[in-house]
């Protein structure tokens, strides 16, 4: 029998969403936060450029402007009622973080400083919101380390709130019986000990799955463990085909070069020194939404205007040298430091080689505005199960997320989820649990350790990542997606024949990587089947064989569920539209 630890609340993931939820749990309830890493090492810490809110500290702005931009940026796939909640709650969310101690950069008046970010605009004439719009200073920031200071601030507040942290724990299963969530199964990486965390509530806040791609801005922990847990439990995932490529990752490495660089005035140039975004988004140019800029970069490269690198791959330039050393050192110290360290480029004197990098999952675990997880596409919920952050899909990002809306998503819905959990705890008792609930995980892990096949985890992972870049990247078509479906089936068979070198229990990272690979394959499967089925182009999902957006047939959310060893089951749910009818998306 397994060890059982009992808490009122178990949160999987110690990034911004999980910590923001944990802050809301009153001290009279016990709260455990489980993390694969030490909490301040969570991937939220790599977010650089800012968190947006219409504070109006630099120029006139309004939450309604933010709402319109987010809906338009989502290519009208975002649920407008949820977007309104997020954008109108943004101002309070930022002020609350400031009061918690987050050290925002300041303007000359001592207020929270704000800068421009892609897709964030305001109308030239307030009486004509659908007329000409111009970029607006809406992103609140702390130099280019916004996510890092947010993570540290929330962690400190959790410590003050007596939250229990279990660092280096890997969750292998969510326990759901008869539509009720009763806890999770996890193993302590440091000892190999398997433990049941029995609870009234579970929140999944595990982040994204960027490591399914070869070139990614995601940390190595970004293997989509939470979405895979839900998918493997037979619950649906929503809109997984919409995966965002950030236009500016360091060439070859994928390390993020924040949109803040363009927000401060950085310019994208091709091999001829041309500011090519004037061709694709003449009104906002380099500050167009990310899907448009990423496609523009790849188009420049395809048409021979990229720069050939020493390894045979292509890139374009991001030039910030004209901004001057003072602005670069004060507002962009981290990203320019990365360019110096990893590429040997001096950004004050020469342009930075960049290429699009896999960055953010718009889809994920379907939830309502209170972070309750859907049991199906009709909106029934799993009692006691919540999700927030990148692993969740509310949906406020739709087919394309605007920059800085990610950190806002974390704090707005992390808080809402925490408050909903607090209310739920007041009326629920701890359900009984089977003391053998961990047997499935024990068997699966033991099976991996006992395998003696000739397939290596790293080789399968590399093949998956390279294939996803080739066949399910920025541009897609039916032929490539069908190749990727076949590749996933092939890799699943190879996975059955893996072996791990380390057979021990203490810090067995070989075992962890094997479990992560299984999760990556699950995330790839849900992404590819959704992409193959959606026969249109919308936001980050660009089908070369279906280049037009099709609102008649495809203005709907994808719900995909695992179906044993068969093809996944795909169903659909209408998009919620309140006040903004879909229109052509131009900038």
Look-up: residue for tokens 């980050």? 540
User: Tell me, what DSSP letter sits at residue 547?
Assistant: -
> Cα(526)–Cα(228) distance, rounded to whole angstroms?
9
Give per-residue pLDDT as tens, 343-364.
999 999 999 999 999 999 999 9
* Below-70 pLDDT ranges, the chain: 1
Scanning 47-126, the segments in alpha helix (DSSP H) are 63-73, 80-100
Which domains are seen in the chain, by residue range?
243-360 (3.90.700.10), 439-546 (1.20.58.100)
Residue 171, strand partner residues:
186
> Cα(530)–Cα(237) distance, rounded to whole angstroms?
10
478 closest CA partner among 533, 398, 440, 539? 533
Look-up: residue for tokens 């630890």? 5
> Cα(286)–Cα(279) distance, rounded to whole angstroms?
10
Taking residue 458's Cβ as centre, other Cβ atoms within 10 Å add up to 10
Taking residue 525's Cβ as centre, other Cβ atoms within 10 Å add up to 24
- How far, CA to CA in Å, does 236 sit from each of 46, 180, 472, 488, 570? 29, 16, 21, 19, 9
Q: What pLDDT shows up at residue 1? A: 64
Residues with active-site annotation = 290
């Amino acid at each position: 029998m397994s060890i059982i630890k009992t808490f009122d609340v178990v949160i999987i993931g110690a990034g911004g969403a999980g910590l923001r939820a944990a802050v809301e749990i009153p001290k009279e309830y016990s709260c455990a936060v489980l993390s694969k890493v030490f909490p301040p090492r969570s991937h939220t810490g790599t977010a650089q450029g800012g968190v947006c809110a219409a504070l109006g500290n630099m120029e006139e702005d309004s939450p309604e402007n933010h709402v319109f931009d987010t809906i338009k940026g989502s290519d009208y796939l975002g649920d407008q009622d949820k977007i309104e909640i997020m954008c109108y709650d943004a101002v309070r969310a930022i002020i609350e973080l400031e009061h918690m101690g987050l050290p925002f950069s300041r303007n000359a008046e001592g207020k929270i400083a704000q800068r421009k970010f892609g897709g964030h605009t305001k109308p030239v004439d307030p009486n004509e919101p659908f007329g000409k719009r111009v970029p607006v200073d809406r992103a609140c920031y702390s130099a280019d380390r916004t996510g890092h200071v947010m993570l540290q601030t929330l962690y400190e507040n959790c410590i003050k709130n007596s939250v229990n942290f279990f660092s280096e724990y890997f969750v292998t299963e969510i326990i759901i019986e008869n539509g009720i969530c009763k806890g999770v199964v996890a193993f302590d990486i440091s000892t190999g000990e398997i433990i049941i965390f029995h609870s009234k509530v579970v929140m999944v806040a595990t982040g994204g799955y960027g490591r399914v791609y070869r070139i990614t801005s995601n940390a190595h922990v970004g293997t989509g463990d939470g979405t895979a847990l839900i998918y493997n439990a037979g619950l649906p995932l929503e809109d997984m085909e919409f995966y965002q490529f950030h236009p500016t990752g360091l060439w070859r490495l994928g390390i993020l070069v924040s949109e803040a660089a363009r927000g401060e005035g950085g310019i994208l140039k091709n091999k001829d020194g041309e500011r090519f975004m004037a061709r694709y988004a003449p009104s906002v140019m380099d500050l167009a939404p990310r899907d448009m800029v990423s496609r523009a970069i790849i188009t420049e490269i395809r048409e021979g205007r990229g720069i050939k690198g020493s390894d045979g791959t292509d890139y374009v330039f991001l030039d910030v040298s004209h901004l001057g050393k003072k602005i670069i050192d004060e507002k962009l110290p981290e990203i320019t430091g990365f360019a110096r360290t990893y590429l040997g480029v001096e950004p004050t004197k020469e342009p930075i080689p960049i290429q699009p990098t896999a960055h953010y999952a718009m889809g994920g675990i379907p939830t309502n505005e209170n972070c309750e997880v859907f049991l199906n596409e009709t909106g029934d919920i799993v009692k006691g199960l919540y999700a927030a952050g990148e692993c969740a899909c509310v949906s406020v990002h739709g087919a394309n997320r605007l920059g800085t809306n990610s950190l806002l998503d974390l704090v707005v819905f992390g808080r809402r989820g925490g408050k909903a959990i607090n209310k739920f705890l007041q009326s629920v008792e701890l359900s009984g649990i089977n003391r053998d609930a961990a047997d499935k995980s024990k068997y699966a892990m033991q099976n991996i350790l006992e395998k003696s096949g000739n397939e290596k985890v790293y080789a399968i992972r590399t093949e998956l990542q390279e294939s996803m870049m080739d066949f399910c990247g920025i541009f897609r078509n039916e032929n490539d997606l069908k190749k990727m479906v076949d590749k996933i089936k092939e890799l699943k068979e190879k996975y059955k024949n893996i072996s791990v070198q380390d057979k021990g229990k203490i810090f067995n990272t070989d075992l962890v990587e094997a479990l992560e690979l299984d999760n990556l394959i699950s995330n790839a499967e849900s992404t590819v089947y959704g992409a193959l089925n959606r026969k249109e182009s919308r936001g980050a999902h660009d089908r070369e064989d279906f280049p037009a957006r099709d609102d008649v047939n495809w203005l709907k959310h994808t719900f995909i569920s695992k179906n044993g060893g068969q093809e996944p089951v795909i169903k659909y749910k209408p998009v919620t539209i309140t006040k903004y009818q879909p229109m052509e998306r131009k900038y």
